Structure 1
Amino acid sequence: MKVVLATHNPHKVSEFQQIVTATRPDLEVVGYDGPEPVEDGVTFAENALIKARAAAEHTGLPAVADDSGICVDVLGGSPGVFSAYWAGQRKDAVANLELLLDQLRDIADPQRTAQFRSTIALVTSDGAEHVVEGVWPGRLAHAAAGEGGFGYDPVFIPDGQDPASERTVGQFTDAEKQSQSHRARAFTALVPLLESL
């Protein structure tokens, strides 16, 4: 089966392809080369649906779109849907990370809880729409660590690790990240929907 992944973000394409290969090797994911819609939703679900609808209409294929970000509890869930633009419209990942760390500079560990959230929308060629979510809980480090991943990965410490050897997602291998991430969790919820196509 062939589906189009509605994103122009090469990091998301690579990450999604790795997740798909591990769980659904029969699923062929093709890149989206159509016009980029305006993401003017105020929730992850709204933006994911905007992208999936545009890709399905442009290609005639079932379309999958992810909208995701980091939600920091002490910031009331922000950056949230504005994660990619936290430091301005340039979508500067380094500036976003530095601003978030600066905002939390005096916040102690117990209040640094956060979650990576991924919402995946599936729009089928007949117009049916489905939305699933994956949540990866953890907390924010005081400084970036690791060269892996992208975005906020170098400051996110997932829950469930041995406290003596905790690492940020930036220090995870690709395989470790793909088996645990918010996108992997959302995709697991999406699989039954894909199988019903």
Structure 2
Amino acid sequence: MEWRNLPTDLVENILSRIPAMTLARFRSTSKQWSAILKSTSFAKMHTAKAPKREDESLNIMLIDSNVFQDKRLVVWNPCSGETTWIKPRVIYRESDYYALGYTYDSKSCSKQYKILRVDRHKDVPPNNEYEIYDFTSNTWRILGVATDWFLALYRRGISVKGNTFWIATQAWSPHNNFLLSFDFSAEMFQSLSLPRPFPYSILALSV
């Protein structure tokens, strides 16, 4: 029997056992397979059958804010090949910070993705306006302004289990460094002191 004649549910069952990055190569195999790989039901099935990891912080969505001339933000899923272009609420700036995170919806058993944008004004004290983009409603929402910390322009955050972490610096003397995180479920920043003061140049985050 040729694969073209296989029942759709059997094809889905077979494909759901294949690693995500390998699946990305199959999108161009046929229109039927491409449609299956893009479906929400298949994504849930594939996630359910994926090997459980102690560290489940892997996020296969990529966000690119280096498209300022186009005045849009792009989010890319390398597995499905889908791209989403997002218009800004206001103009994007090169000094902006972005973070891609998610919350878990227990009703639909799926991840709800969000984008955090921090508009870093070069003020003293710092004036960090931040807002959230919700993929469910496709809208931006202003959350607030943070004035007690700043992030160096070259510092990038890391994502762990849907939330994002940075090494930040206090806005006031003695300007100590600390661990700053953004909780995408509560939609708020949280801070954690480091064990002791460290020079900024030797600090790094990794997973």
TM-score (ref. length: structure 1): 0.31
Task: Kindly name which structure, 1 or 2, has the bigger radius of gyration based on alpha carbons.
Answer: 2
Where is the helix percentage greater, Structure 1 or Structure 2?
1
> Per chain length, whose mean CA-contact separation is higher, i.e. which structure has more relative contact order (CA < 8 Å, sep 6+)?
1
Where is the strand percentage greater, Structure 1 or Structure 2?
2
TM-score (ref. length: structure 2): 0.29
